A and B are shown apart, each in its own frame.
Chain A
Amino acid sequence: MNHLIVAPILLPLATAALMLLLGEGRRGLKAGFNLLSTAAGLAIAVALLLGVAGREAPAAFGVYLPGNWPVPFGIVLVADRLSALMAVLTGCVGLASLLFALARWQHAGAYFHVLFQLQLMGLYGAFLTADLFNLFVFFEVLLAASYGLLLHGGGGARVRAGLHYIAVNLVASLLFLIGVAVLYGVTGTLNMADIAQKLPAVPASDRGLLHAGAAILAIAFLAKAGLWPLNFWLPQAYAAASAPAAAVFAILTKVGVYAVLRLWTLCFPADAGASAGFGGGVLVWGGIVTLAFGALGMLASQQLARLAGYSVIASSGTLVATIGFAAPALSGGALFYLASSTLAGCAMFLLVELLERARQVEVGPQQIDDGQHALPAFLDAEPPAGTNLDDNEEALTGRAIPAALAFLGVAFTLSAMVTSGLPPLSGFVAKLAMLTALLERHGAAAWALFGLIILSGLFAAIALMRVGIRHFWTTQDRPSPRLRVIETLPIAGLLAAAVALVLQGEVVLGYTRATAESLQAPGLYIDAVMGARPVARSAP
């Protein structure tokens, strides 16, 4: 039963290896394998989530020892509420992006499916591992795959943005290594739970070194999360990436946020003695500045792709700031916001391409030849005989709205509502939960965040409304874009998930609150990991 925890890592790895053996051709077969593996990964993640939801510790922690070594020495995988939530989000985002890519993007490169599976493997691994160096390895796996996915499709803009992205991430990885090495030098262990356990006993003479190491490690994570001023690479890279790659990248920044949340709550809780709450102020104010930067960036963006990139920055800022307060009620709302903003960000990046395609219809011929799979256009249908015609021989009853345009409009409106936090969708519930929790805090930082969360929602609404007007209202006689059904499916699914988050709001909020509470009590996590025993070998 416990073997399920390692399955989300092994399954994509095995699938990727198998697809490499198939060579460069056989696209259909590879697409089938990829789809099967991604869907199975999502199913496993949901099973993991159901396995830990509603359980009390220690049953709420699934601990797995991959090498069957005793605990502080071998690598440990842990599926707790936070990991399971992130894994489910990874599965959702992965499945949606893959479905979208099946229409067109999978043909743009020979190794798309392999890279995609390795990307998922890195993401699942980073969320499940409980070993600091293993976290580095999974970070590298997911980054290496993301370099490939960013360049997928080729072209000057992608290569230029890719070069910056790779350089920034290589430097961040080196900082990651320095931080890990210092923490190892101070505590003598790489197991996260063991590090947290040994931190209070670190002598005062080593505490400066410990704090320096933790800060360097945090810089590496925050650069990946897109914290200001470490995020100037992000809008260019995300805008240059192909739509399915950018949609997967919507969760990449959340990996940095996850790592900060996990390690900071584990290592520096309120009862950590001299190190209690180390760096909390930096997280809060850094997050606030990032949120302001992201909101202003959204307002200043001309392209929808860059706007979506800045919205990712704004959501990262909100999350990092709420982590720094170390308040369970606030973190509970923030985790709900994390789920909601990841789904909305993914849908937004997928919509970018369809909207751009709708715009290009005016200037060029239809690029996609998709025959029977397209939604009906209704566009050039002759008015039925006997209809009243006006002076210009146009039907007075008006034309039907083309189905594709109607779908794009509704999907864009819904995802804009989730992104900017307008009622009644999930963004609103998340922001309401965070604002309610913030009212109970006092001090300048809490009020600044309170005001900025509301203000950034307004900025997002204005910026998205402007884009909506430009794409849907100001053009009268634009021919309808042609969409494939398989391209609309993932967007509809993601938005349906956002609606489901609202309909099941009480259940989901209960889950995220329980997650936040168990994060604030790291003793349970430490006990669960340190209490794990290797499987005894049966006598021959």
Chain B
Amino acid sequence: MEVVISIAIGVMASAGVWLVLRPRTFQVLIGLSLLSYAVNLFIFSVGSLAVNREPIVQPGLAADLATYSDPLPQSLVLTAIVIGFATTALFLVVLLALRGLSGGDHVDGQEEQL
């Protein structure tokens, strides 16, 4: 499972970085979304990757990560998702405003002069 998760994070992060560096605003937006998915998965994996383990200490069992799943990264991911969603929406609005003002979708508001 660790391999699958790390490959997923790596693919999304590299695709995200490539898209963020592109000159079109929509590509940058998608890149930022992909990057934030990668980061959210990364935070999630920092806790402990486990199947069928409850995020709460069971009575009678030692409070050790071997017997329960750390709930804190999950709550951090929730917060990060909410904040990332809101800021991405804001970025989308600015993107549309720039498109309306400049008539194009280049991040600098005008095409490059070659």
Contacts and interface: CB of A to CB of B under 8 A. Distances in A.
Interface of A: 133, 137, 140, 143-144, 147, 151, 155-156, 159-160, 162-164, 166-167, 170-171, 173-174, 177-178, 180-182, 184-185, 190
Interface in B58-97: 72-73, 76, 79-80, 83, 86-88, 90-91, 94-95, 97
B35 to A, nearest CB: 5
B91 A178 contact: no
Contacts of A164: 107
A170 B87 contact: yes
A140 B90 contact: no
19 contacts: A147-B87, A151-B94, A156-B102, A160-B102, A163-B98, A163-B107, A166-B87, A167-B20, A167-B28, A167-B32, A170-B91, A171-B20, A171-B32, A177-B80, A181-B39, A181-B46, A182-B46, A185-B46, A185-B47
A178 B95 contact: no
Nearest to A165: B94
B109 interface: yes
A173 B35 CA distance: 11
Contacts of A166: 87, 90-91, 94
B90 A147 contact: yes
Nearest to B76: A133
Contacts of B87: 140, 143-144, 147, 166, 170, 173
Nearest to A171: B20
A190 B97 CA distance: 38
List the 8 shortest-distance A-B pairs measured between CB atoms, nearest first: A185-B46, A181-B43, A160-B109, A181-B46, A156-B101, A174-B39, A140-B83, A159-B98
Contact of B39 (A140, A162, A178): A178
A162 B94 contact: yes
A177 B98 contact: no
Contact of A177 (B39, B88, B94, B101): B39
A164 B107 CA distance: 8
A160 B94 CA distance: 9
A167 B98 CA distance: 13
B54 interface: no
B: contact size bracket: 20 to 34
B98 A160 contact: yes
A61 to B, nearest CB: 25
A156 B90 contact: no
Given A140-B87, A181-B43, A184-B76, 14 more contacts: A133-B76, A133-B79, A140-B83, A144-B90, A159-B101, A160-B98, A160-B108, A164-B107, A166-B87, A167-B20, A167-B32, A173-B83, A177-B39, A185-B46
A167 B109 contact: no
A163 B86 CA distance: 15
B35 A174 contact: yes
B2 to A, nearest CB: 13
Given A144-B87, A151-B94, A170-B87, A181 B76 contact: yes
A159 B94 CA distance: 7
Contacts of A174: 32, 35-36, 39
B40 to A, nearest CB: 8
A181 B95 contact: no
Contact of B73 (A143, A156, A184): A184
Contacts of A147: 87, 90, 94
A184 B72 contact: yes
Contacts of B35: 171, 174
Contacts of A182: 46
A137 B76 CA distance: 10
Given A137-B79, A140-B83, A181-B76, A163 B25 contact: yes
A317 B80 CA distance: 30
Contacts of B102: 156, 160
A180 B102 CA distance: 38
A156 B109 contact: yes
Given A133-B79, A144-B87, A167-B28, A181 B42 contact: yes
B71 to A, nearest CB: 12
Contacts of A133: 76, 79
A25 B91 CA distance: 26
Contact of A184 (B46, B88, B108, B109): B46
Contacts of B43: 177-178, 180-181
A155 B101 CA distance: 8
B73 A181 contact: yes
Interface in B3-35: 20, 25, 28, 32, 35
Nearest to A169: B87
A171 B39 CA distance: 11
B85 to A, nearest CB: 12
Nearest to A141: B83
A178 B101 CA distance: 35
Residue of B32, B36, B94, B95 ringed by the most chain A CB atoms within 10 A: B94
A185 B43 CA distance: 9
A180 B40 CA distance: 12
Interface string B38-57: 01001100110000000000
B91 A167 contact: yes
A177 B43 CA distance: 8
Contacts of B108: 160
Nearest to B98: A159
Residue of B35, B43, B76, B80 ringed by the most chain A CB atoms within 10 A: B80
Contacts of B20: 167, 171
Nearest to A166: B91
A171 B35 CA distance: 8
A144 B94 CA distance: 13
Contacts of A159: 94, 97-98, 101, 109
Nearest to B87: A170
B37 to A, nearest CB: 10
A159 B47 CA distance: 39
